[in-house]
Amino acid sequence: MRILTRQNQARIGAALVSAVVLAGLGTSVPATADEPAATTADVASDAYLAPYYTQGDLDGDGTIDQADLDQLVAALGTTSSDSGWAAVAAADYDDDSTITLTDVSELSQRIIYDDGPFSLVEASALDMQKAMNAGVTTSHAITQAYLDRIAAYDKTVVDTSTGGRALNSIISVNPDALELADAADAKRAAGEATSMLEGIPVILKDNYDTTDMPTTGGCGCWDDNLTSDDATMVTDLRSAGAIILAKASLDEFAYGFVSEYSSFQAAGSTTLVASPYVTSRTAGGSSGGTGASIAANLGAIGFGTDTGGSIRVPSSYNQLVGVRPTVGLTSRDGIIPLALSQDTGGPIARSVSDAAIALDAVAGVDPADPATAAAAGKIPESYTSYLDPKALQGKRIGYLASMVSTNATTVRLFNQAKADLEAQGATVVEISIDGVSTVLNEGSGSTNEFKHDLSSYITNHLAPQVTNRSISDILASGRFVTSRTSTYVQRNNVTEEQYQAWAGPTGSHTTAIANGATVVTQAMDDDDLDAIIYPSGTPYNTYSTNMRLSPNTGMPAVTVPMGQATADDGTSAIVGAGVNLEFLGRKFAEGPLLGIAYSYEQATEHRTTPSLYPALDQ
């Protein structure tokens, strides 16, 4: 990546004389590895994209900045035979044993800074940091621009084709967003910005507790659930400097994939979330609002939850990157649960890089969620350190033919994906896994666990002013998606004995997930695999039991755009509809998995911008 414009490269030339160029730019300085975590005992730090943005860090502060540039300028002409060589050798980029202007220029390009034009649509967190460091824009301006896009697009029907409808991706907007952005700008001006998320507006699925907006779970029954504290992951995001911009719509209580919700509506009324590519189609679910809003550039990075596909389905429907982390990598405390045996929270983003940045902020051990104890010692300094365009070289990747589908679009895209992976140096092999059908056929925990797990949330987190404090109360209120009445009744009828037999320490589901992890991990070991791949679905649909492989093993999955349907795919093709490629890895191997996904993404660049939601006129 190149950071400085030609104009600034000229300024670097002046710095070679004065050694004062770029002073006072407020370049972010990531936290060092030995700094205490703000909210968890074992979390990733914010060193970004090592080694590119760290090789040449001469003063050991974890980033390349003005101080490193000054030191290198002062060392011009130093050779490997000089006594001061050890202090500057890391910046000898051309390996010629001499510090030259070439090395100074290369180092300058690794400062997170760009004073060129800034465009909000499709901007990454890195793009935003560069522009804010250069003074081209501010967190306030970026936040205001996203608020403007939400106001202009979210409830407006811009699709004039048959069945076109509004996105309906946002339930609540943070009234304090601009004030928070101003605080982030003040930190940057004072040289105190310490994170790649500093000043970056984030959208949360509306099942994450937040103190500044109600947490409804998509249900009108909980419109007044303004909690007294944030979910642990939200606390981590705020500590990293993120601006919590808005709460996204979802399928009520994360029940399904259509993203139908009743929040802030009259009893009996509901709303569906639309995909920004084909608004007559669902955005998927249950994190559909997060998927639609991030795809339409209503926010920078999103967060969802995934029990049986709820991060990966909307990611596939909306050409996004979704990360379903290992169960236990991120805390679920303060998130409305569906089934804690399989629930996990993770990022939904427009790029693998943004997803890795987001995961850095939230991965960690939290005493309030005992499952996270397993993450201790397994979290890297930064997931971004794995983002190598050549990460696929030498990797061995397997796939099960039964998971590919017969859909013409999916078959074509998957065959091309295999070729693309091999073109990047990977070996792709068809595999078989003894016992995999049992793993894939294990059901979701949502039916047998929802009542038990929701009761715990109600006791520990639900705001005291909320009167609907049980499933029975919710049913009596009439303030829910009433077409789901039978589902609510079924889940309300589950007894504690049934729950324990299913999800207790020796329950059948608990045992099945553990066995699933053993079966799939052993198969990966036997075949020397780095990842298993499969389509996340078909255009605007899931396929068979593909979404169950990750939750039924507790293993992580990363889904990345694989391409779009074309008219050549047949008469039933949904032209422009996306399908994602999913990568499954070993438990707590999110780093290598993100590296593989990044290499594939960089080689193919399949994501497109929804044309219905262009930049607003200034």
3 state DSSP class of 246: strand
What was the pLDDT predicted at 61?
A: 83
What's the pLDDT tens digit per position in 299-314?
999 999 999 999 999 9
Q: Are 303 and 347 in contact (CB under 8 A)?
A: yes
Domain boundaries, the chain: 6-108, 139-443+507-604
Q: Are 354 and 382 in contact (CB under 8 A)?
A: no
Selection from 68, 69, 62 nearest residue 30 by Cα: 62
Q: How far apart are CA 360 and CA 48, in angstroms?
A: 10
Point out which residues pair with 559 in neighbouring strands: 322, 582
Q: How far apart are CA 377 and CA 386, in angstroms?
A: 17
Q: Tell me which amino acid residue 294 is.
A: I
Q: What is the mean pLDDT of the chain?
A: 92
3 state DSSP class of 272: strand
Q: Are 438 and 617 in contact (CB under 8 A)?
A: no
Average pLDDT over residues 95-108: 96
What was the pLDDT predicted at 47?
A: 56
Q: How far apart are CA 462 and CA 255, in angstroms?
A: 19
Q: How far apart are CA 30 and CA 455, in angstroms?
A: 40
Q: Which fold has domain 139-443+507-604?
A: Amidase signature (AS) enzymes (3.90.1300)
What was the pLDDT predicted at 63?
A: 82
> What is the number of other CB atoms lying within 10 angstroms of the CB of residue 81?
8
Active site residues: 205, 286, 310
DSSP category for residue 535: E
What was the pLDDT predicted at 53?
A: 86
Cβ neighbors of 567 (< 8 A, separation 6 or more) are 573, 575
- What distances in angstroms separate CA 330 from CA 34, 234, 336, 386, 530, one per listed residue? 20, 11, 14, 19, 22
For a pLDDT cut of 70, what percent of the chain falls above it? Answer: 92
Indicate whether 405 pLDDT > 70.
Answer: yes
Indicate whether 19 pLDDT > 60.
Answer: no
What was the pLDDT predicted at 1?
A: 30
What's the pLDDT tens digit per position in 553-608?
999 999 999 999 999 999 889 999 999 999 999 999 999 999 999 999 999 999 99
Q: How far apart are CA 569 and CA 212, in angstroms?
A: 47
What's the pLDDT tens digit per position in 103-112?
999 999 999 9
Indicate whether 377 pLDDT > 90.
Answer: yes
What was the pLDDT predicted at 618?
A: 67
Q: Tell me which amino acid residue 179 is.
A: E
Q: Tell me which amino acid residue 300 is.
A: A
For a pLDDT cut of 90, what percent of the chain falls above it? Answer: 89
What's the pLDDT tens digit per position in 167-182?
999 999 999 999 999 9
Average pLDDT over residues 230-252: 98
Q: How far apart are CA 58 and CA 61, in angstroms?
A: 8
What's the pLDDT tens digit per position in 36-93?
223 333 444 445 676 788 899 999 887 898 899 999 999 999 999 999 999 999 999 9
Indicate whether 30 pLDDT > 60.
Answer: no
What was the pLDDT predicted at 14?
A: 44
pLDDT band at 35 (very low <50, low <70, confident <90, very high): very low
> In sequence order, which ranges of 275-389 are alpha helices (DSSP H)?
288-295, 312-317, 352-362
What was the pLDDT predicted at 13?
A: 43
Q: How far apart are CA 9 and CA 12, in angstroms?
A: 5
Average pLDDT over residues 213-224: 98
Selection from 142, 66, 153 nearest residue 110 by Cα: 66
Indicate whether 320 pLDDT > 60.
Answer: yes
Handedness of CA 562, 567, 568, 571 (dihedral sign): positive
What's the pLDDT tens digit per position in 245-271?
999 999 999 999 999 999 999 999 999
